[in-house]
Chains A and B, each alone.
Chain A
Amino acid sequence: MKELIDRLKKIVGERFVSAESEERYLYSMDMGTMPPSVPDLVVMPGSTEEVSKIIRLANEYKVPVVPMGGGLVLSGLTRALKGGMILDMKRMNRITEVNPKSRYAVVEGGTSEGMLQAYLKKHHPELKHSLPDAPPIATLAGNVCIHGSGHLSVLGGYHSDMLNGMEVVLPTGEVVRTGSCSVSSDWFGKAPLPDLSGLFMGWAGTTGVVTRLGIKLYPNYRYSDLLIFVCEDAEDMPDVISRLTSTQVAEDMTPWMTPIPEWAKGFMHINIAYGAHSKEELTFKRNLLQMSVKEYKDKKIGGFLPMPPPQKARYMQIPTPDLVRFADVRKGGGFEYVGAIMAIEHFAEAYRAGVEIAERNDVSYSMGARVVGAGHSMMFFYAYAFNRADKEDMARAQRALEETNAAALEMGGIPWKAELPAQQQIIEKMAPDTFALMNRIRETLDPNHIMNPGNWERT
């Protein structure tokens, strides 16, 4: 091990390798409920070349490598399940290109969502990218790799749909490019080539290390607004979502259902964010959205919450710290959620299952969803808060999460960025030949089984 550490230090510099107990402790877990798994060391590369050298070294020593961005996945995907090294990518945080005409940005693998947001605000105020509801230190690469979604997902789909191409260090150390940048100097998209980006998205870091990526940017509007639709019957939600998305004017649509504060319990809300270049256009878009659900208003069974501008501001903050504050519901610094990607028509069923599971397990919950595309699917989330200092409480949350994963799969959904137990549940339901193909691909890419081993494996 000492020899490996010395050689790593030669690659990245003395300061950026640690096998000290403090780093090994902290990098053994994330904020969710998955038990710790201690790495042997933590390395922080500063360039693609360094990543490549590290990976080659890892092959030489047959040491596992776990790439990590913000480390905020909550489902424990960046734990070193079989020891080895955590590759903390956040030193690689340069924004290398913004193309305002073809609307894309190229960033390094450790660039944070917040940093790109700040950069665009300053240098390209006419552009923006889709931010997830994660804290701003979350990385773009990490979020794209887990098929994240965000505040432009009605407009542009999953963040993996907004990917134009990647530079990836393979598990054997070669540096490959996917998308147009593999042929051209421009990062305009994945077409018309065979889409190799798919080899790295949804794989939980088992197929390579993303060192650079190009993502789509979108027009940033001068004016933006938010509507909050409210109704009481979950059965109405698929139709409401379908009508609202049919207008094709929303950027983001996020239903939310929460028992805290108490007044909100039992009500279905949908935040609908949209923007425009002029006030006239904004009013026009609002009218389109309102007209689409007029029937609900006429029947008096649904409508839009009246909300003066100062109150709206809180709901329009991107990213909003309100979400992480859920961790303090039980004054215990913790929450984890099941985000189940599923078809819209399961909304009511998904909601009922959530209430039932939360009540059965006596956990504090909050539910919601993010509509993806023009109502093409949704990420339905069940968040459970727990007290980190209370083992029993954590176990309760863990039980609720497992039951929720099972329920989501049962209704045809698929847990997103699945924890280890959920990965097993998914593999059980997956077409056997599909899983066999996954294994063949991994075998080819990673003959020494060094990349985040333990994930996407049948136990």
Chain B
Amino acid sequence: MKHEEILHRCFRCGYCKLPSNYTDINCPAYQAFRFETYSPGGRMWLLRAWLNDEITNSKRFAEIMFSCSACGNCVEQCAFPKFKELLLEVFTAGKEAFLDAGQVPAPVRDYLTKIQLHGNPYGKPGKKRPEWAADLGIEPFSDQEYLFFVDDVGAYDTRGQEIARSVAGILQQAGISFGILSGEEVSDGNDVLAIGETPLFEELARKNIDVFNQKGVKKIITLSPHSLHALKNHYPGLGGNYQVSHYTQLLAFSMGKLKLREKGTKPCITFHDPCYLGRHNWDYQSPRMILKALPGASVVEMDRNQKNAFCCGGGGGNFFTDILSAEEDSPGRVRAREAARTGAELLAVACPMCAVMLEDAAKVEGLENRLQVREVSEIMAEYLVDG
């Protein structure tokens, strides 16, 4: 297994379980299950025990491995600077070893199979990908400045489609020149990679890179931070070099071009940092710049924010596999309760997965009358003066 030489160096001190201000458990899997085994340190020790033949790769062990949402909190908080950066790579390598050994939880297998067969985890045909954009008048990409890349959730999930439409609308209003693909593209592969299915990721990435290159794509705006991460940080290794930004990064600097109006209300907003925009790509400011620029709006922070943000539980394929589901201890529900405690009436998100996860969570928690989960672009849209 890759990086197995560092497994025994984990002391299991538990810094990885917490945010830097120690307010609460900040590892989604450990929060959900509470056994030491589900903490990053637990995984390190179990993997070592497995490689030393002290335990077997049981079904439960597989669940422990695949419950990791790759949120990166452990990397951020680990006390050992000499190997902390490798933690997620270790877990990915561990998952890869489980895949190789054929010990994979059923939902993970289904998820991967669907992507393998259809290029997306919904098992829907590729040509349905651009359906979200029907009637919006968005041109297919030809020679526009940007390609707007919409992930699987934005393309196929009803809620995701709304968000994709909302973002596209704002890009249009901001006068940004962009086009979209017509279904030749496939899943960005980000979470496939986090799950450790590297060959499938490479296949997906190569397909997308071929499409991008054929169309002469140079600059890409992504709807999802997951796509941002894959396209920006992993595609270059496979020959796909583009200037990639999350849509909030582009809009944060285009706010001057948009006409904003007073809305009459002065909403209090709390922002949930998506792991792949925040911890994985160190941008905590773009979405906040947008929200703070909205006339009359105020932004309050949750105890865990920015590099300490608590993951919604949707990463690492968990959005589809649902391994992290744990009743009231589910990360999404914990996060929704935390957002409600700020007193904010709006919980702003900047990722379609976070949007779905937290919306569902807020509903189950019975918070929908107090706390609305809205995507940043949707909140923004209400302030835009048409034209």
Question: Are A and B subunits of one complex?
Answer: yes
Residues of A within 8 A of B (CB): 15-16, 18, 20-23, 25-27, 31, 42, 44, 70-72, 88, 90-91, 112-115, 117-119, 121-122, 135-137, 321, 324-325, 327-328, 331-335, 387-389
Docked-complex contact A122 and B8, CB < 8 angstroms:
no
Query: Counting CB contacts under 8 A, is B117 at the interface?
Result: no
Query: Counting CB contacts under 8 A, is B128 at the interface?
Result: no
Query: Counting CB contacts under 8 A, is B168 at the interface?
Result: no
Docked-complex contact B34 and A26, CB < 8 angstroms:
no
CA distance A220 to B34 in the complex (A): 32
Kindly list 18 other residue pairs between chains A and B, CB separation below 8 angstroms, not including A18-B35, A25-B55, A328-B80: A15-B329, A21-B55, A22-B35, A22-B60, A22-B64, A26-B42, A27-B36, A114-B18, A118-B303, A119-B23, A122-B303, A136-B18, A137-B14, A325-B80, A325-B81, A328-B11, A332-B9, A334-B11
CA distance A327 to B6 in the complex (A): 13
**From B59, which residue of chain A is reached at the shortest CB distance?**
A20
Contacts of B22 in A (CB 8 A): 112-115, 117-118, 136
CA distance A23 to B38 in the complex (A): 9
Contacts of A321 in B (CB 8 A): 13, 15, 79
Closest 3 CB pairs of A and B: A114-B22, A137-B14, A321-B79
Docked-complex contact A22 and B34, CB < 8 angstroms:
no
Docked-complex contact A88 and B34, CB < 8 angstroms:
yes
If over half of B's interface residues share one DSSP class (helix, strand or loop), that class is named, otherwise mixed; here it is loop
Docked-complex contact A333 and B10, CB < 8 angstroms:
yes
**From A138, which residue of chain B is reached at the shortest CB distance?**
B14
Take A22-B64, A114-B22, A328-B80 as given contacts and tell me if A333 and B58 are in contact as well, using a CB distance cutoff of 8 Å.
no
Docked-complex contact B326 and A15, CB < 8 angstroms:
yes
- Chain B: minimal CB distance from A11 (Å): 15
Contacts of A91 in B (CB 8 A): 34
Which parts of B7-55 form the interface with A (CB within 8 Å)?
A: 8-15, 17-18, 21-24, 33-37, 42, 45-46, 49, 54-55
Q: Which size bracket describes the interface of B in this complex?
A: 35 or more
Docked-complex contact B35 and A118, CB < 8 angstroms:
no
Docked-complex contact A88 and B14, CB < 8 angstroms:
no
Take A88-B34, A387-B8 as given contacts and tell me if A25 and B14 are in contact as well, using a CB distance cutoff of 8 Å.
no
CA distance A114 to B79 in the complex (A): 15
Contacts of B35 in A (CB 8 A): 18, 22-23, 26, 42, 44, 88
Contacts of A335 in B (CB 8 A): 11
- Chain B: minimal CB distance from A449 (Å): 26
24 contacts between A and B (CB under 8 A): A16-B34, A20-B60, A21-B55, A21-B56, A21-B58, A22-B64, A42-B35, A71-B36, A72-B14, A112-B22, A114-B18, A118-B22, A118-B23, A119-B23, A136-B15, A137-B17, A321-B13, A325-B79, A327-B13, A327-B80, A328-B80, A332-B8, A333-B8, A335-B11
Docked-complex contact A15 and B64, CB < 8 angstroms:
no
- Chain A: minimal CB distance from B48 (Å): 8
- Chain A: minimal CB distance from B268 (Å): 18
Contacts of B12 in A (CB 8 A): 31
CA distance A42 to B33 in the complex (A): 12
**From B64, which residue of chain A is reached at the shortest CB distance?**
A22
Docked-complex contact B14 and A331, CB < 8 angstroms:
no
Contacts of A331 in B (CB 8 A): 9, 82
CA distance A18 to B129 in the complex (A): 43
Contacts of B9 in A (CB 8 A): 327-328, 331-333, 388
Query: Counting CB contacts under 8 A, is B247 at the interface?
Result: no
Query: Counting CB contacts under 8 A, is B61 at the interface?
Result: yes
**From A25, which residue of chain B is reached at the shortest CB distance?**
B55
**From A13, which residue of chain B is reached at the shortest CB distance?**
B327
CA distance A263 to B61 in the complex (A): 46
Contacts of B33 in A (CB 8 A): 15
Docked-complex contact B13 and A26, CB < 8 angstroms:
no
Docked-complex contact B34 and A90, CB < 8 angstroms:
yes
Q: Which of A20, A71, A121 has the most CB of B within 10 A?
A: A20
CA distance A321 to B79 in the complex (A): 6
CA distance A430 to B8 in the complex (A): 38
Contacts of A18 in B (CB 8 A): 35
**From A68, which residue of chain B is reached at the shortest CB distance?**
B36
- Chain A: minimal CB distance from B27 (Å): 11
Docked-complex contact A44 and B60, CB < 8 angstroms:
no
Take A26-B37, A112-B22, A387-B8 as given contacts and tell me if A135 and B15 are in contact as well, using a CB distance cutoff of 8 Å.
yes
Docked-complex contact A31 and B46, CB < 8 angstroms:
no
Docked-complex contact B13 and A389, CB < 8 angstroms:
no
Contacts of A334 in B (CB 8 A): 11
Contacts of B34 in A (CB 8 A): 16, 44, 88, 90-91
**From B23, which residue of chain A is reached at the shortest CB distance?**
A118
Docked-complex contact A333 and B303, CB < 8 angstroms:
no
Taking a contact as CB atoms closer than 8 A, the residue among A20, A44, A325, A328 that contacts B58 in the complex is A20
Q: Which of B34, B54, B60 has the most CB of A within 10 A?
A: B34
CA distance A316 to B10 in the complex (A): 25
Take A115-B24, A118-B21, A325-B80 as given contacts and tell me if A26 and B36 are in contact as well, using a CB distance cutoff of 8 Å.
yes
CA distance A388 to B18 in the complex (A): 24
Contacts of B37 in A (CB 8 A): 22-23, 26
- Chain B: minimal CB distance from A138 (Å): 8
- Chain A: minimal CB distance from B16 (Å): 9
Take A23-B35, A88-B34, A112-B22 as given contacts and tell me if A72 and B55 are in contact as well, using a CB distance cutoff of 8 Å.
no
CA distance A252 to B254 in the complex (A): 53
Contacts of A327 in B (CB 8 A): 9, 11, 13, 80
Which parts of B302-337 form the interface with A (CB within 8 Å)?
A: 303, 326-327, 329
- Chain B: minimal CB distance from A347 (Å): 28
Take A15-B33, A42-B35, A325-B79 as given contacts and tell me if A25 and B8 are in contact as well, using a CB distance cutoff of 8 Å.
no
Docked-complex contact B36 and A88, CB < 8 angstroms:
yes
- Chain A: minimal CB distance from B302 (Å): 12
